[in-house]
């Protein structure tokens, strides 16, 4: 989708928005998959309500792209524009045990920044790729840690009201890879409360998690992490593996031969290839185990 109206472009520019025309989102997703659209870099959080009003009244649909690490974007010319909050490193400030982090901050970078200030608890999250905002929206977790446990406040643009609101952590539900945020809410900033822990101890914990991850996950291949959520009491990866589906493919989309819940782009996989593989595996698991696997990856169709 292209914004060509000069007056709209001028108004966006006055709000500090940089419009990059015709960007391939394959360059902005960890799967290396995605079609083309205008990419709008929104540098000021406070301008978001006005930017959204402008786009809506001009008839543009839009989606916020965070780190692009848990999303499968459709192929071809996209029917919506992509918005992105650029990262300003580190995007984190610490006061006592309170940590304010921008949604655009890198999640791993935030964990390390806090570790250096003797604030721990999030060691398990160190290798989870993506932004703080993305982690927050889906309550990312690994090795027994979920980001939601530490959340005290969230600043969020609420699509329902068109305003920026501050929500108390207690008023947000954080479940397994799911939160009570609306699908179009945009995470802006979060305040976490982290336990004090000596840096050395945190680093030791981080090392253990990194080793586990390196030994079981295809970290050097293009993926979106786990494709399916784990069903209650079971492991999607183990089930897919037991069905002998490692290496199973659709075009260049392939079930990783290292971890069967990671689907990797081995070359120039399209969204259609990946979706076909997802449906094929879901169907085989349904037939073999009577279990309906639910996507963890977020699919953005046209
Ligand atoms: N397993 C297999 N074959 C495989 C993969 C796994 O037999 O191909 C077995 C493992 O040997 C293990 C069990 O299945 O006995 C569980 O595997 P693993 O420890 O890798 O955990 P997982 O349930 O597959 C979850 C998260 C990961 C997270 C790890 C570590 C989900 C969907 N996945 O994976 O998160 O890193 O635990 O905490 O909850 C993600 O969400 O994208 C993600 C990668």
Would you say the CB of residue 248 lies under 6 angstroms from ligand 1? no
Q: SS in 3 state form for 74-133? A: CCCECCCEEEECCCCCCCEEEECCEEEEECCCEHHHHHHHHHCCCECCCHHHCCCCCEHH
For the chain, percent of residues with pLDDT exceeding 70: 100
Would you say the CB of residue 210 lies under 6 angstroms from ligand 1? no
Does the structure show a pLDDT above 90 at 83?
A: yes
Does the structure show a pLDDT above 90 at 88?
A: no
Instruction: Give the separation between CA 69 and CA 82, rounded to whole angstroms.
Output: 15
**According to the model, what pLDDT value does residue 146 have?**
96
Mean of the per-residue pLDDT values for the chain?
96
Q: Using the mean position of ligand 1's atoms as its centre, give its distance from the Cα of residue 79 in Å.
A: 35
For the chain, percent of residues with pLDDT exceeding 90: 96
Q: What is the residue with the minimal CA distance to atom 23 of ligand 1?
A: 235
Residue 115, both tokens: 């570790």
Q: In this predicted model, what pLDDT tens digit does every residue of 15-56 receive, in sequence order? A: 999 999 999 999 999 999 999 999 999 999 999 999 999 999
Would you say the CB of residue 121 lies under 6 angstroms from ligand 1? no
Would you say the CB of residue 216 lies under 6 angstroms from ligand 1? yes
Q: Are 32 and 26 spatial neighbours (Cβ–Cβ below 8 Å)?
A: yes
Q: In this predicted model, what pLDDT tens digit does every residue of 131-145 receive, in sequence order? A: 999 999 999 999 999
Instruction: Give the separation between CA 231 and CA 54, rounded to whole angstroms.
Output: 41
Average pLDDT score over residue span 122-129: 94
Bridging pattern class, strands 298-300 and 71-73: parallel
Band the pLDDT of 107: cuts 50, 70, 90: very high
Q: Are 80 and 54 spatial neighbours (Cβ–Cβ below 8 Å)?
A: no
Q: Using the mean position of ligand 1's atoms as its centre, give its distance from the Cα of residue 299 in Å.
A: 21
Average pLDDT score over residue span 149-167: 96
Does the structure show a pLDDT above 90 at 155?
A: yes
Q: In this predicted model, what pLDDT tens digit does every residue of 48-81 receive, in sequence order? A: 999 999 999 999 999 999 999 999 999 999 999 9
- Which residues share a beta bridge with 18? 41
Does the structure show a pLDDT above 90 at 87?
A: no
Would you say the CB of residue 209 lies under 6 angstroms from ligand 1? no
Q: In this predicted model, what pLDDT tens digit does every residue of 198-249 receive, in sequence order? A: 999 999 999 999 999 999 999 999 999 999 999 999 999 999 999 999 999 9
Q: Are 288 and 280 spatial neighbours (Cβ–Cβ below 8 Å)?
A: no
Max Cα–Cα distance, the chain, nearest Å? 58
Helices marked H in the chain — which ranges? 6-14, 48-57, 107-115, 132-138, 199-216, 236-242, 271-289
Q: In this predicted model, what pLDDT tens digit does every residue of 238-283 receive, in sequence order? A: 999 999 999 999 999 999 999 999 999 999 999 999 999 999 999 9
**According to the model, what pLDDT value does residue 211 have?**
95
Q: What is the residue with the minimal CA distance to atom 3 of ligand 1?
A: 238
Name the residue of 209, 234, 238 whose CB sits within 8 Å of the most ligand 1 atoms, as the mutation to test its pocket. 238
């Amino acid at each position: 989708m292209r914004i060509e109206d000069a007056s709209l472009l001028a108004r966006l520019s006055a709000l500090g928005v940089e419009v990059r025309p015709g960007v391939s989102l394959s360059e902005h997703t960890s799967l290396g998959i995605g079609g083309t659209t205008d990419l709008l870099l929104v540098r000021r959080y406070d301008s978001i309500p006005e930017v959204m009003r402008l786009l809506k009244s001009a008839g543009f649909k839009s989606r916020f792209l965070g780190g692009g690490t848990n999303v499968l974007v459709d192929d071809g010319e996209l029917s919506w524009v992509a918005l992105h909050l650029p990262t300003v490193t580190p995007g984190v400030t610490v006061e006592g045990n309170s940590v304010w982090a921008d949604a655009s901050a890198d999640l791993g970078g935030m964990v390390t920044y806090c570790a250096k200030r003797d604030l721990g608890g999030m060691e398990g999250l160190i290798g989870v790729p993506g932004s703080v905002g993305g982690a927050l929206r889906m309550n990312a977790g690994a090795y027994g840690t979920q980001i939601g446990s530490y959340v005290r406040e969230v600043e969020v643009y609420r699509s329902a009201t068109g305003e920026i609101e501050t929500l108390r952590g207690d008023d947000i539900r954080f479940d397994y890879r799911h939160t009570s945020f609306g699908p179009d809410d945009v995470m802006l900033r979060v305040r976490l409360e982290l336990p004090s822990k000596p840096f050395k101890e945190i680093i030791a914990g981080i090392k253990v998690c990194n080793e586990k991850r390196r030994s079981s996950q295809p970290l050097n291949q293009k993926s979106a992490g786990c494709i399916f959520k784990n069903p209650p009491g079971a492991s999607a990866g183990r089930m897919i593996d037991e069905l002998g589906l490692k290496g199973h493919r659709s075009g260049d989309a392939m079930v990783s031969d290292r971890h069967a819940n990671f689907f990797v782009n081995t070359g120039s996989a399209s969204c259609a290839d990946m979706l076909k593989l997802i449906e094929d595996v879901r169907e085989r698991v349904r037939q073999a185990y009577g279990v309906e696997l639910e996507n963890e990856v977020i699919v953005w169709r046209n």
